[in-house]
Amino acid sequence: MQDSPLRYLTLIIVAFVFLLSLAIALLVHGGWWLVLLSGALTAVGIGDFMQSKRSILRNYPLLGHFRFFFELIRPEIRQYFLESDTLLNPFSRNQRSIVYQRAKQQLDKRPFGTQLDLYQTGYEWVNHSMQPAAVQHHDFRIVIGADRPRPYSASIFNISAMSFGALSANAIRALNRGAQIGHFMHDTGEGSISRYHKPEQPGEAGGDLVWEIGSGYFGCRNADGSFSEQKFVESATLEQVKLIEIKLSQGAKPGHGGVLPGAKVSIEIAEARGVPAGVDCISPAAHSAFSTPVGLLQFVERLRTLSGGKPTGFKLAIGHPWEFFGIVKAMLQTNILPDFIVVDGGEGGTGAAPVEFTDHVGMPLQEALLLVHNALAGTNLRDRIKIGASGKIVTAFDIVRTLAFGADWCNSARGFMFALGCIQSQSCHTGRCPTGVTTQDPLRQRALVVPDKAERVAHFHLNTMKALAELIAAVGLNHPCDLKPHHIVRRLSPNRVALASALLEYLEPGSLLPGAAHTHLPEVFQTYWPIAHAESFHPMH
């Protein structure tokens, strides 16, 4: 991405102001102080333009220093003017700070005890052991598609789905290069594989990709929007693509399609998505390649075969329970299994959405994860299908809790955005992102310097995994896969706590299969399992 001409125009204006100050000083007696002041400010402004460490200062020279000044004096004035450290809206200052510190390789410790109210209802912690395990390594991995021709050894912490178009070109470059440095995977989002997901020079290695295919079939579509086998094979067989993921829905706006206005469909976005430039780009709410649970699994098998046996699965936010139960029944009926399922929580994500969808549509991650885990365990399929999870996961404890509740790995979108320099201005959908992360404006996104931010992405992953290793060792375990619900404790009231295993109802293996006793099933299974079926997403009555 070349520097915008506006950058040089701005520098010319700064130089003009300095020369104007010099002229005034020559005409006005005692005006040399103005020359010194304007010269100092000009030097600072030029330095801000040229440095590559702070995106805010590159886009907002001089003015950006006010933000860092108020950040410095925050402890004294925050109770009157600024947010608290622990208020989650949607991420607290403490959550953002821990990402920034780990991304920048800064000290990430806290003095003087916790700022959290440990007696507040809902507070959670992990029990430690009086015989902690030794911390031997931090590169925790799982194998996805172990019995397929192209299995993949995945880190248990990865970059969640964010498309080029939603993110800037420089953000995509930095994320992918960071994933390559840290040996973890980068989900393309439904915007498909862009030129910025690929190595910049021939012969370079790019970061491992999860190619997400949504209802618009971007990157593998015909002119009418239907799925194209030929175009799919062209990209799916790239060595850089490790997993194929069918997106059914996302936590930000489940059950809602989308339109990228034609004015925003640049030549580069059109190239990646396989759509005409300058024309509205439509993501339908539903897929056209299938319409039943059986059809979904046949599509999974079709993509897995076309890709040469790469692990293939799907991502969804849970809505009607009988729809997912129908998919599980279709697995039993057809014996076609996805290699993985990614559960996206209703906590939302990077995608902009109507407030009603953000606040009130989609099952939250913990309940959704439990439902998916139970449905697979109750049909003896859990050991054959890996589960990923995404939804406000940024710290090692977030990973521990999510894995204890049934996931095999975690994805994070906003956590890695913070690593890129995101300051949670919540202007992602406006094109005016102040740090260059979520904008297509060339001037704004030049603030995001790829080599520097790629290192930060890799450092955030590395230091989070090191923190996870220490946390796992404190629990007395050797690998996160050994985590169980009984390791997590939740406060129910100021005077009452309970193990998560006592609060969450887990199914016994095989308890949903024909002939098994159904006397102790959770209510959601008693109500919706009987009306789900493999041939339709609609319930039987």
- Antiparallel, parallel or unpaired: β 208-213 and 185-187: parallel
Q: What is the C-alpha to C-alpha distance for residues 265 and 216, in angstroms, rounded to an integer?
A: 14
CB distance 289 to 227 below 8 Å: yes
Q: What is the pLDDT of residue 228?
A: 97
Q: What is the C-alpha to C-alpha distance for residues 209 and 230, in angstroms, rounded to an integer?
A: 20
Interval 467-480: pLDDT, tens = 999 999 999 999 99
Q: What is the C-alpha to C-alpha distance for residues 337 and 147, in angstroms, rounded to an integer?
A: 12
Q: What is the pLDDT of residue 76?
A: 42
Residue with tokens 């971007």: 218
User: Does residue 5 register a pLDDT over 60?
Assistant: no
Per-residue pLDDT band at 75 (split at 50, 70, 90): very low
Among 284, 248, 220, 227, smallest CA distance to 161 is for 248
Q: What is the C-alpha to C-alpha distance for residues 213 and 307, in angstroms, rounded to an integer?
A: 13
Least confident of 25-34, 37-46, 160-169, 359-368: 25-34
List Cα–Cα distances, 247 to 176, 212, 348, 395, in angstroms. Answer: 20, 6, 15, 25
Among 316, 158, 321, 340, smallest CA distance to 247 is for 316
Residue with tokens 């489940």: 254
Q: What is the C-alpha to C-alpha distance for residues 316 and 521, in angstroms, rounded to an integer?
A: 24
Interval 83-94: pLDDT, tens = 566 666 688 888
* Letter string b/e over residues 453-472, b meaning 16 or more CB atoms within 10 A of that residue's CB: bbbbbbbbbbbbbbbbbebb
Least confident of 320-329, 337-346, 514-523: 514-523
Q: What is the C-alpha to C-alpha distance for residues 92 and 435, in angstroms, rounded to an integer?
A: 19
Q: Degrees (nearest 5) of the Cα angle 524, 525, 528? A: 80
Interval 257-266: pLDDT, tens = 677 777 778 8
Helix (H) or strand (E) holding 454: helix 450-475
Percentage above 70 pLDDT, the chain: 86
Q: What is the pLDDT of residue 362?
A: 77
Q: What is the pLDDT of residue 254?
A: 66
Among 456, 458, 483, smallest CA distance to 469 is for 483
3-state secondary structure of 277: coil
Q: What is the pLDDT of residue 352?
A: 65
The token pair at 196 is 């910025």
CB distance 410 to 388 below 8 Å: yes
The token pair at 177 is 């290069």
In this structure, which amino acid lies at residue 314?
Answer: F
Interval 113-126: pLDDT, tens = 888 888 899 999 99
Arithmetic mean of pLDDT, 149-159? 97
Interval 245-287: pLDDT, tens = 999 987 666 666 677 777 778 899 999 999 999 888 888 888 9
* Letter string b/e over residues 170-199, b meaning 16 or more CB atoms within 10 A of that residue's CB: bbbbbbbbbbbbbbbbbbbbbbbbbebbbe
Q: What is the pLDDT of residue 17?
A: 66
User: Does residue 524 register a pLDDT over 50?
Assistant: yes
| Helix orientation angle between 321-334 and 293-306, rounded to the nearest 10 degrees | 60
The token pair at 216 is 């618009």
Per-residue pLDDT band at 26 (split at 50, 70, 90): low
Per-residue pLDDT band at 431 (split at 50, 70, 90): confident
SS (H, E, C) 364-409: CHHHHHHHHHHHHHCCCCHHHCEEEEECCCCCHHHHHHHHHCCCCE
Among 71, 440, 48, smallest CA distance to 268 is for 440
Q: What is the C-alpha to C-alpha distance for residues 164 and 218, in angstroms, rounded to an integer?
A: 12
Query: Mean pLDDT score of the chain, rounded to an integer?
Result: 87
Least confident of 186-200, 231-245, 291-305, 516-530: 516-530
Which is more confidently placed, 41 or 450? 450
Task: State the CB neighbour count (10 A cutoff) for residue 418.
Answer: 25
Helix (H) or strand (E) holding 344: strand 340-344
Which is more confidently placed, 48 or 291? 291
Interval 482-495: pLDDT, tens = 999 999 999 999 88
Helix (H) or strand (E) holding 321: helix 321-334
Q: Residue 10: phi, psi to the nearest 5?
A: -65, -40
Peptide bond into 149 cis (omega under 30): no
Helix (H) or strand (E) holding 229: helix 229-236
Strand order in the sheet with 124-126: 124-126, 488-493, 496-499
User: Does residue 35 register a pLDDT over 70?
Assistant: no
Among 415, 369, 420, 363, smallest CA distance to 392 is for 415
Q: What is the pLDDT of residue 209?
A: 98
Q: What is the pLDDT of residue 447?
A: 85
pTM recorded for the entire structure: 0.84
Count how many Cα atoms sit within 13 Å of the Cα of residue 92 in the half-sphere of its side chain. Answer: 12
User: Does residue 461 register a pLDDT over 50?
Assistant: yes
Least confident of 9-18, 76-85, 328-337: 76-85
Per-residue pLDDT band at 519 (split at 50, 70, 90): low
Q: How far is CA 265 from the centre of its chain?
A: 23
User: Does residue 288 register a pLDDT over 70?
Assistant: yes
- Helices in 87-139 by DSSP H: which ranges? 93-103
Q: What is the pLDDT of residue 231?
A: 97
Per-residue pLDDT band at 28 (split at 50, 70, 90): low
Q: What is the C-alpha to C-alpha distance for residues 14 and 1, in angstroms, rounded to an integer?
A: 24
